[in-house]
Amino acid sequence: MAESKFEKDLEKLEQVVEALETGGLSLDDALKRFEEGIKLARRCEKALGEAEKKIEILTKNAQGDLVAEPFADDEDTEDPAGEKTVLEKKNDDAETEGELLF
């Protein structure tokens, strides 16, 4: 199985960091390596951000069935269409019925 682009970029980034840390590079070479490292770090960060968006948390709905719910990294849990998540709907239902969620 081929190594993913992220792993290759991360490995290259580690090599750049090692080369910069060990020293011995001319100023021009060090600057070129630094620039390459910044580009690799940004690509790795972008890949990790995209992966984070794909993460889903499994939650149970009101009937006890497992439902896939997108991972939310902030307090805003509404989707772009403005619909509430399963967990928010469950919270609203529990509040209106006077029940505790957990």
User: pLDDT 10s per residue in the chain (102 long)?
Assistant: 456 899 999 999 999 999 999 999 999 999 999 999 999 999 999 999 888 777 655 556 677 776 777 666 554 444 445 555 555 555 555 555 554 444
What is the structure's pLDDT at 53? Answer: 73
Q: What is the pLDDT of residue 83?
A: 53
Amino acid at 97: E
Greatest Cα pair distance, the chain, in angstroms, is: 71
Closest by CA position to 102, among listed 90, 82, 27, 32 = 90
- DSSP strand E in 1-102: where? 56-60, 66-70
Which residues lie across from 67 on neighbouring strands? 59
What type of residue is 35? Answer: E
Sign of CA dihedral 51, 53, 54, 58: positive
